[in-house]
Amino acid sequence: MNNSGLLLAAVFVPVMGAFTLPAIGRISEHLRNALALIFVLASLVASAMLVPTVLSGQTITVALAGPLGFNFVLTADPLSVFMAIVSSFISVIITMYSFGYISHYPNRNEYYTMVVLFIGAMMGLVFSSNLILLYIFWEITAIASWRLIGFFREKQHVIKADKAFMVTIFGALAMLFGFILLYAETGSFDLAVIKGYFGVNPISNWIVLLILLGILSKSATLPFHTWLPDAGVAPSPVTALLHAAVLVKIGVYVFARLFVMTLPIAAIWHTVVPIIASASALISAGAALIETDMKRIIAYSTISQIAFIFLGLAVGGNIGIAGALLYILMHGIAKGGLFLCAGIIEHGTRTKDITKMGGLLASMPITAISFLFCALSVMGVPPFGGFFSKYMVMSGAFNQNVWIAMVFLVGAFLTIIYLFRLFNMIFMGEEKAHSEAEGSRVMVASVAILGILSLAGGIWISYPAAYVQITLKQMLGI
């Protein structure tokens, strides 16, 4: 298959495939599960096969001309392939894990359809190089996640799903308005055309603000963050998918794509965005220390860590941006692992309240070690992968603005404290909740893979770092 074929396959195999799943599910559960995995795997494999080409410095474009600037353009460059591999890889693990997790619940056909559709839309979003196309995929992810958050159909769950949907849609509409303003000025939605139009002149602050509203609401950053902890009512693999690995990374990805790579923005944003992010990092870390619901704590932790990614991207400088990209990778793996561990614990103990847990190390040793590894990676402790990303982001921040960086340092302190509080209350001390088994084999294997990858990501840092360096060259045109 040639490169354009691979690119189309990465997006459209899961998007189209998703709709076949309900029909197949009526025939065979196993076949449906296998196909769901294959569709997601196809995205991963196709994206991975694009790596040699993009590393050689080429970009692959599939374009279909449309009227009035509504071109259908998919572009594979190092950044989009990086993001596609990270998200599809974590999605593969999460899909695998779902086989064990979701098998006792009703509506499994809908579940797999929505998950695969979501992942396909994510792929489309990552590769699209046209703002309208990007917006369409953006909204598909919102719809899919709305169904998935309210999956259990309880009244409160549906309300929370609606909340998540409405907050992100509000942001998306603001963003769409920003896109339209861009169109009014440049006459195109095509990113390449827009980039050529502006050159190095900063774009209007109003446009930046509108698009930023969309980005911040999707990436759950203050003040649009509260839907994320509430969305913890979803099934655990969904929370992993939405909160950790994929959905919340959409915002930061689009930030990198638009404001770092394509559109020149006024210097003030390099201060404003880090300030917003620092408030977000601190407030969510504080909330994580107070909450007692396991999944809400991890969700708050996500908000806090996303702020670090924004910091790295927004302060500029090579090391900060590179750190932010690595952060997307390391945090995706580690946080995905934490949510999946939470799923195992929730299944085993039938509770999410950490005050009712304790001493689970004895009955869930593999989960405990995986949890610890992932937590250490999120804290940024070597030799785990998160060390490098955290160090590089902090280093980038200290190069630009010492005081904002000091606020983030406090955020990093709190990260250590709340994650250890969580670990101790779940796994150490007196055994309060008892769990017979650790969970199905495929679930335990999934978290073990993510735990080991958190460690391997640090030990073999040179590979992702080399990739990120090439990405950086291409992004910044250096």
- As measured in angstroms, the least distance from the Cβ of 18 to another protein is 30
- Per the CB < 8 A criterion, the answer to whether 242 and 335 are in contact is no
Tokens of 384: 């785990």
- As measured in angstroms, the least distance from the Cβ of 278 to another protein is 12
List 62's β-bridge partners, or say none.
Answer: 74
Tokens of 397: 């921040």
The one segment of 107-115, 146-154, 175-183, 401-409 that binds another protein by CB under 8 A: 401-409
* Residue 454 neighbours by CB under 8 Å, 6+ apart: 330, 333, 334, 337, 373, 374, 376, 377, 384, 385, 386
What's the one-letter identity of residue 409?
L
* Residue 288 neighbours by CB under 8 Å, 6+ apart: 297, 300, 301, 304, 414, 418
Closest C-alpha among 340, 309, 330, 327 to residue 218: 309
Which lies closer to another protein via its Cβ, residue 275 or residue 406?
406
Residue 365 found at the interface with another protein (CB under 8 A) = no
- Per the CB < 8 A criterion, the answer to whether 35 and 24 are in contact is yes
Which lies closer to another protein via its Cβ, residue 8 or residue 452?
452
Residue 391 found at the interface with another protein (CB under 8 A) = yes
The interface with another protein within residues 309-348 (CB under 8 A) comprises 318-319, 322
- Per the CB < 8 A criterion, the answer to whether 310 and 273 are in contact is yes
Which lies closer to another protein via its Cβ, residue 285 or residue 294?
285
Choose which of 34, 65, 209, 417 interacts with another protein (CB under 8 A): 417
Which lies closer to another protein via its Cβ, residue 135 or residue 387?
387
CB neighbour class for 156 (10 Å; exposed up to 12, middle 13-18, buried from 19): exposed
Angstrom distance (rounded) from CA 236 to CA 156:
17
- Per the CB < 8 A criterion, the answer to whether 377 and 385 are in contact is yes
Which string of x and - marks every residue 276-315 that binds another protein (by CB under 8 A)?
A: ------xxxxxx-xxx--------x---------------
Residue 240 found at the interface with another protein (CB under 8 A) = no
Binders of another protein: how many residues, by CB under 8 A? 54
Residue 188 found at the interface with another protein (CB under 8 A) = no
Tokens of 360: 């689970």
Tokens of 73: 């353009």
The one segment of 184-192, 306-314, 330-338, 373-381 that binds another protein by CB under 8 A: 373-381
Residue 399 found at the interface with another protein (CB under 8 A) = yes
- As measured in angstroms, the least distance from the Cβ of 466 to another protein is 6
- As measured in angstroms, the least distance from the Cβ of 279 to another protein is 8
- For residue 60, what is the enclosing H or E element? strand 60-64
Choose which of 121, 148, 167, 299 interacts with another protein (CB under 8 A): 167
With H, G, I as helix, E, B as strand and everything else as coil, classify residue 425: helix
- As measured in angstroms, the least distance from the Cβ of 390 to another protein is 8
Q: Which residue has the tokens 């099934």?
A: 235
The interface with another protein within residues 190-229 (CB under 8 A) comprises 222-223, 225-227
Which positions lie near another protein, rule CB under 8 A?
163, 167, 222-223, 225-227, 282-287, 289-291, 300, 318-319, 322, 376, 379-383, 387-388, 390-392, 394-395, 398-399, 402, 405-406, 409, 412-414, 416-417, 420, 424, 428-429, 461-462, 465-466, 468-469
